[in-house]
Structure 1
Amino acid sequence: MPLLPRRFERIQGVLNRRMENLTVLLEHVDKPHNLSAILRSCDAVGVLDAHVVSLPGRARTFNDTAKGSQKWVSLHPQEGTPTALTRLRDQGFRIFGTHLGVNALDYRQCDFTGPTAFVLGAEKWGLAEATANGVDQALFIPMIGMVQSLNVSVAAAILLFEALRQRQAAGLLPTQGEGVAPERYRRLLVEWAYPQVAAWCRREGRPYPALTAEGEIAEELPRTLRLRC
């Protein structure tokens, strides 16, 4: 069945607003509910990539909380937090970690309009000491109740939506795909619109097909493959 034009418009509209320069790094956040909820928030604000460092032997699984958001946010497993921090920093990210330290700032005092990575740990024990010491800026979310911590997925949502608010106020939100590198944009558009075609191309070691402005595949493909599209 061919891709309906309104479906392609929806996919392209979402991709047009994605941001490569806003991300999260999750340290040992392995509970399916929390991981799923964070990816759902990432999708909601336009995050394209998320990163995770899992405990040894822990499989990354999702539950209904994700609402399928794991299909639209690329989750990148990392071998360890120090390596992940180095990679993010090399890519130009400023790294903010949720940690109640003497130098921590109220998150509302921080600038998230530039390349921003939020590092969050499992709510039971937070960030590892080495991780907390390795961020560029520690931050906290003020609370006035008896409990002085939030569920990690709630904390992630607060920070991500603050970054979205700041960028919207500064006129920095992408609207036409400028938040994603052009070649990656073209690749993702095919993968999102035609996942089976993209998988076939990867198996065959061939380039992805071009798409027309209406979202149709602009070249001949095997009939059996077209029938599955």
Structure 2
Amino acid sequence: MSPERFARINEMLDNRQPDLTLCLDKVHKTNNIAAVIRTADAVGIHQVHAIWPDLDMRVSGNTASGSQQWVKTIRHDHMDEAQTQFRAQGMQILATNFSEDAVDFREIDYTRPTAIILGNERDGVSPEGIAAADQHIIIPMIGMVQSLNVSVASALIMYEAQRQREAAGMYGQRRLDEDYCQVKLFEQGHPIYAKACRRKSIPYPKVDALGQIVADAAWWERMRSPQKAVK
């Protein structure tokens, strides 16, 4: 791994925000899903959630520009599953929804642990998502259209969250689990060895402070040995 590559991955890990997430409520258009994930990566969101009860989610690699390698998508069959996970992490739950109690999305304190529910292209947030929210938010609009594309709406909200968190000094300090960071450093810094480990069922080694593999002679011997054919 080059020093530049190693530094870039570490910078990404240092800026990830594990207590800020999105929940896509039955969003089904792959180009929108991929665009949301791409923006999530850009603002340092560690993972997104998706309510997807019927079909397997597929992300367009071209639209996501590889960001799905860095942002994990957690699938749920029902909103209750996602809500339970958000509550367990002490998150405030927001939902984009036109209601009497909705507030301008910029009035929210995003420095708090936060989950943001965004609805699908046709129906918006589901009744279950609306009920799960602590607060409804809206993006003020003074034109003729009444709503934005979900990927555009999510980008506006995510960048407001980033603005607030940056001002509060919440970036540049690593808050991710070290085991996860080691996996990412190895997989993305040494992809050929990582692929070989998966193929040969060899445990991942550690990566040192310079980005180099730390492994004993037995590990290297297993790595060099030809893969045995499966009978």
Same fold (TM over 0.5): yes
Indicate the residue corresponding to 1:170 in structure 2: 168
Deviation, structure 1 residue 63: 4.6
Indicate the residue corresponding to 1:179 in structure 2: 175
- Stretch of structure 1 that moved more, 144-153 or 70-79: 70-79
Identity of aligned residues (%): 40
Normalising by structure 2, report the TM-score: 0.88
Deviations 1:44-65, CA, capped at 9 Å, x for gaps: 0001111111251354231522
Q: Does residue 15 of structure 2 align to residue 17 of structure 1? A: yes
- Stretch of structure 1 that moved more, 150-159 or 211-220: 211-220
Q: Does residue 51 of structure 2 align to residue 53 of structure 1? A: yes
Pick the aligned partner of 1:190 from 152, 170, 186: 186
Unmatched segments (≥5 aa) in structure 2: 227-231
Alpha-carbon distance in structure 1 between the residues aligned to 2:67 and 2:57: 18
Distance 1:98 1:224, change over 3 A: farther
SS of equivalent to 1:23 = strand
* Count of aligned pairs between the two proteins: 221
Alpha-carbon distance in structure 1 between the residues aligned to 2:193 and 2:134: 42
Deviation, structure 1 residue 16: 1.6
Alpha-carbon distance in structure 2 between the residues aligned to 1:197 and 1:99: 47
Normalising by structure 1, report the TM-score: 0.88
Pick the aligned partner of 2:156 from 155, 158, 179: 158
Alpha-carbon distance in structure 1 between the residues aligned to 2:150 and 2:136: 15
Distance 1:63 1:109, change over 3 A: same
Alpha-carbon distance in structure 2 between the residues aligned to 1:154 and 1:66: 14
Deviation, structure 1 residue 5: 2.1
Which of the pair has more CA radius of gyration?
2
What aligned pairs does 1:6-45 form with structure 2 within 5 A after superposition? 6-45=4-43
Alpha-carbon distance in structure 1 between the residues aligned to 2:44 and 2:57: 25
Alpha-carbon distance in structure 2 between the residues aligned to 1:65 and 1:202: 27
Q: Does residue 163 of structure 2 align to residue 148 of structure 1? A: no
Deviation, structure 1 residue 129: 1.3
Q: Does residue 115 of structure 2 align to residue 127 of structure 1? A: no
Q: Are 2:49 and 2:73, in contact at CA under 8 Å, matched by a contact in 1?
A: yes
Pick the aligned partner of 2:66 from 56, 65, 68: 68
> Root-mean-square deviation (CA), in Å?
2.0
Alpha-carbon distance in structure 2 between the residues aligned to 1:197 and 1:81: 38
Deviations 1:20-45, CA, capped at 9 Å, x for gaps: 11111101111111001000100100
Indicate the residue corresponding to 2:208 in structure 1: 212
SS of equivalent to 2:206 = coil
Alpha-carbon distance in structure 2 between the residues aligned to 1:110 and 1:71: 30
Deviation, structure 1 residue 205: 5.9
Distance 1:5 1:131, change over 3 A: same
Q: Does residue 224 of structure 2 align to residue 223 of structure 1? A: yes
Alpha-carbon distance in structure 2 between the residues aligned to 1:58 and 1:6: 36
Equivalent residue letter for 1:188: K
Indicate the residue corresponding to 2:229 in structure 1: none
SS of equivalent to 1:126 = coil
Deviation, structure 1 residue 181: 2.4
Q: Are 2:53 and 2:77, in contact at CA under 8 Å, matched by a contact in 1?
A: no
Deviation, structure 1 residue 189: 2.2
Alpha-carbon distance in structure 2 between the residues aligned to 1:184 and 1:59: 23
Pick the aligned partner of 1:118 from 116, 119, 140: 116
What aligned pairs does 1:68-87 form with structure 2 within 5 A after superposition? 68-87=66-85
